[in-house]
Structure 1
Amino acid sequence: MKFPRKSIKLGLTTALVSLGLSTAAMAQDYDWPRLLVIGTPGTSSGSFASTNGWGPTLQKETGTTVRIVPEDSEPMRYKRLTDREDIAISSLSASEMAIQTEGVGGYASAKPMPQRILWHHNDTPWGFVVAGDSDLQTLGDIAKGGVRVTSGVFSPAIVTAITKALPAFVGLTPEEAEEKITFVPASSYGENCRSVVEGKSDVAYCSPISSVLSEMEGAPGGIRWLAMDPENKEGWNGYLNYRPMTIPTKISLGVKTAQGVDSMTSNFVYAVSETADVDFAYNMAKWLHQSHDAYKGSHALAARMSVDLFREYLDSNPIPVHEGTVKYLREIGQWTDEDDAWNNAAVEQMDQWIAARQAGMKEAMEQGVQINFENEAFLEIMAKHTAGLMVFRSRL
């Protein structure tokens, strides 16, 4: 089943009115698909909840039947979008989209297929938090040594951020970090964050939208956040060497102590297959923008889907945007010739990864090597074909 297409035209304006569609939807003059399937992470995720927030509005205004499908398995959602094509849109983190393209980990044996960004979904801010009475005033103070930093061993991504990316930001090599920083293990996210108000650590890596941070703000002495200077290009380049899809940002979401602090964000996007119809992508982008006021109150994360936040995200985004979305953004003055330059480069970069991985799989099949991400012989072939390719990395 291919998406998105529509086999039956809705017909005259009177018929549209009888279906209860808005005049704004009628003015779009577009035949929406009869069924629009959107894949998200599981039912407990903000992505699922927020998509269920705006989906009914889209259905009401356009007449398309919107079905939100929770699919916890990222590889399966990727396959359903690009290969099986039984979902039209997928909600995922931009970093996940990058590693899907690059064939990292379990994706090494997944069928390489290109994707495009349709729209910005939400942004999750992250930062480095300390107790309110901490002697640490800047991140640079960590480089002086004698500092305890919590390492959330429950999450490989957090371990990388703490033991490699943070030291690089403050000018320390991993070896120097081992000498100057005491890494305090934490077995859960809550333990990780609370460590600074419980006196077990000096610095923790947390998201200010987490409920535990509200609790920590009320602790004796409160909490503070250490800013990541956006002008520190050397520090940011070092950080991105280990966390390449992080986006520098000024925090505008979450607990009060974090508001206005220069830090970083991890962004979720809505993705479509590279082959998605241009008119569909154009009209989805148009609806997501023009109807934002109608659905932004349906969920806190839906409020992060404004064109202004999308435009801000595009200033750092390294992933290609679908040409239908580009067409609409250019039409409303939110896309420039400079955007064409980086987007064309991103398309070429993705094409290079897809072609290299396809060639690697072809060689593996010809040699009778099992295509499996746990097969070292297969991984060696893939590494040979992808050698020298640049990983996707936020643009500073």
Structure 2
Amino acid sequence: MTRTRPARLAAASLIAGAAFAISAPAQAQELPDTMTWSSYDVGSAGYAEASAIADAFGRKYGTRVRIQPSGSSIGRLQPVVSGRADYGFLATEAFFSAEGIYDFADRRWGPQNLRTLAGRPSSFGMPTAADAGIEKIADARGKRVAFVAGNPSVNVKCDGILAFGGLTRDDVEAIMFPTYGAAMSSLAAGQADATCTTTTPSQLYELAESPRGIHWADIPRDDAEGWERVSDLAPFFAPYTETVGAGISQENPAQLMAYRYPVLVTMADKSADDVYAMTKALDETYDMFKDGTAVMPRWKLDEAGLPPIDVPFHEGAIRYLEEKGIWTEEAQAWNDRAVKRLDALLAAWDEAVAEGESLGDEEFAALWEEKRQAAVASLN
């Protein structure tokens, strides 16, 4: 099922970025001469990684890549949906937009028929003050947990982590901090006992050196019931053993979760041959960009090219992953379920739009949430 791209969208993003132009080698190449990608802002990890990959494409294939950076989720996705960008190096807005939630519950958006090629695993967990007595996630019951106001990307992941331990926000003292930095600093300041984040924010290193110390609540990969609860809320999470971060090392690894950032996406109706060529190029240039940042070795396709991930894999990517012996029966089963879920959401959105044409925004939002929940429930 292919969703019709909206002709007009309210948000507009500035076209800015880096172009990498080098004379094409004599060998034939399958990539187009020029491409446009969207990404997070200049200075972000997503922009740095997209730039390193674009540079490798330029050097190997002579392909010019223009990167459009944006600080907003809509600004990153809008060029992809409208066809002004071939691919997006996105974050959790890929999942939000496919689900039609948060910014994408607006009647001008709704679920988007996206597909992925690959996504670099990024670990995420619950750092706690060592003196708070939170050894495992379930121990956070009744404790002070720092959330970030107006940041669904962080907060939905934290809800997933709490679900692993059989908890919700109602089971903890959820404290909203006005900024991400304030939430991360709250543990060392004694204002909270735990939060949810990646392993390398500077505030966590400060916590590790503070009198409170740092501990990462354990998220064991063999807890099947815990992972089933996570998949209901955040199906893009997977078990991950992290060896880099505050209070973490090769000698002292942490059992955490991983989501994908950046996740490389395009529209479902993108040519399978084009996506195959893009996936192949990502693989063939890996040795040229893998040292671009400390985490870029995780773009290796046997790690980045398998689910779970925010949206279903594109058929062109699957074709290449099958040829390389990376794609598995389990991966295909996951992808079939993901496509079925997305198709159900797209159909539910069409019903909501038809039924809610005369409704105000609040009434339409309530109707859509009812339809969305029913669509998801029908899959169980």
Aligned mates of 1:319, 1:197 — CA distance in 2: 36
Quote how far apart the aligned CAs of 1:47 are: 0.8
Gap change, CA 1:161 and 1:114, over 3 Å in 2 = closer
Matched AA of 1:99? F
CA deviation string 1:329-367 (max 9, x = no partner)? 1101101233323222322322222233234324445xx
Gaps of 5+ in 2: 1-21
Matches within 5 A, 1:28-47: 29-47=28-46
Quote how far apart the aligned CAs of 1:200 are: 3.6
Gap change, CA 1:280 and 1:214, over 3 Å in 2 = same
Aligned mates of 1:203, 1:381 — CA distance in 2: 35
Alignment of 1:126 with 2:124, yes or no, is yes
What is the SS of the residue equivalent to 2:291?
A: helix
In the other structure, the counterpart of 1:3 is: none
In the other structure, the counterpart of 1:225 is: 216
Alignment of 1:205 with 2:196, yes or no, is yes
Structure 1 or 2: more helix by fraction: 1
In the other structure, the counterpart of 2:258 is: 265
Q: CA contact under 8 A between 2:289 and 2:296: conserved in structure 1?
A: yes
Aligned mates of 1:188, 1:387 — CA distance in 2: 30
Task: Give the alignment partner of residue 322 of structure 1, picking from 314, 328, 331.
Answer: 314
Aligned mates of 2:90, 2:246 — CA distance in 1: 24
Gap change, CA 1:342 and 1:215, over 3 Å in 2 = same
Quote how far apart the aligned CAs of 1:131 are: 3.3
Q: What CA RMSD, in Å, does the superposition of the two structures yield over aligned residues?
A: 3.0
Gap change, CA 1:379 and 1:219, over 3 Å in 2 = closer
In the other structure, the counterpart of 2:146 is: 150
Aligned mates of 1:380, 1:118 — CA distance in 2: 33
Q: CA contact under 8 A between 2:88 and 2:266: conserved in structure 1?
A: yes
Quote how far apart the aligned CAs of 1:183 are: 4.1
What is the SS of the residue equivalent to 1:208?
A: coil
In the other structure, the counterpart of 1:379 is: 365
CA deviation string 1:234-274 (max 9, x = no partner)? 23333444444333322244335266211112312100111
Aligned mates of 2:175, 2:329 — CA distance in 1: 48
- Using structure 1 for the length normalisation, give the TM-score: 0.77
In the other structure, the counterpart of 2:242 is: 251
In the other structure, the counterpart of 1:72 is: 71
Task: Give the alignment partner of residue 19 of structure 1, picking from 16, 23, 27.
Answer: 23
Aligned mates of 2:65, 2:155 — CA distance in 1: 39
Matched AA of 2:374? G
CA deviation string 1:113-147 (max 9, x = no partner)? 41110121x3332222233455443334334x5x4
In the other structure, the counterpart of 1:357 is: 349
Gap change, CA 1:99 and 1:293, over 3 Å in 2 = same
Aligned mates of 2:256, 2:90 — CA distance in 1: 21
Matches within 5 A, 1:51-200: 51-82=50-81, 84-93=82-91, 95-108=92-105, 109-111=107-109, 112-120=111-119, 122-143=120-141, 145=142, 147-153=143-149, 155-156=151-152, 158=154, 165=160, 167-172=162-167, 175=170, 177=171, 181-200=172-191
Q: CA contact under 8 A between 2:215 and 2:247: conserved in structure 1?
A: no
Gap change, CA 1:200 and 1:282, over 3 Å in 2 = same
Matches within 5 A, 1:292-371: 292-311=286-305, 314-317=306-309, 319-365=311-357, 369=358
CA deviation string 1:291-331 (max 9, x = no partner)? 111111223343321113214xx243362111111111110
- Using structure 2 for the length normalisation, give the TM-score: 0.80
Gap change, CA 1:52 and 1:110, over 3 Å in 2 = same
**Alignment identity in percent?**
24
Q: CA contact under 8 A between 1:116 and 1:320: conserved in structure 2?
A: yes
Answer with 1 or 2: which has the greater Rg: 1
In the other structure, the counterpart of 1:9 is: none
Aligned mates of 1:71, 1:206 — CA distance in 2: 22
Q: CA contact under 8 A between 1:154 and 1:186: conserved in structure 2?
A: no
What is the SS of the residue equivalent to 1:36?
A: strand
Q: CA contact under 8 A between 2:126 and 2:216: conserved in structure 1?
A: yes
Gap change, CA 1:136 and 1:345, over 3 Å in 2 = closer
Quote how far apart the aligned CAs of 1:185 are: 4.7
Matched AA of 1:150? A
Q: CA contact under 8 A between 2:144 and 2:194: conserved in structure 1?
A: yes
Gap change, CA 1:223 and 1:287, over 3 Å in 2 = same
Matched AA of 1:228? I
User: Which moves more between the two structures, 53-62 or 225-234?
Assistant: 225-234
Q: CA contact under 8 A between 1:125 and 1:253: conserved in structure 2?
A: no
Quote how far apart the aligned CAs of 1:20 are: 5.2
What is the SS of the residue equivalent to 1:309?
A: helix
Q: CA contact under 8 A between 2:115 and 2:267: conserved in structure 1?
A: yes
Aligned mates of 1:203, 1:184 — CA distance in 2: 10
What is the SS of the residue equivalent to 1:265?
A: strand
Q: CA contact under 8 A between 1:197 and 1:223: conserved in structure 2?
A: no
Q: CA contact under 8 A between 1:246 and 1:264: conserved in structure 2?
A: yes
Aligned mates of 2:354, 2:131 — CA distance in 1: 59
Gap change, CA 1:104 and 1:173, over 3 Å in 2 = closer
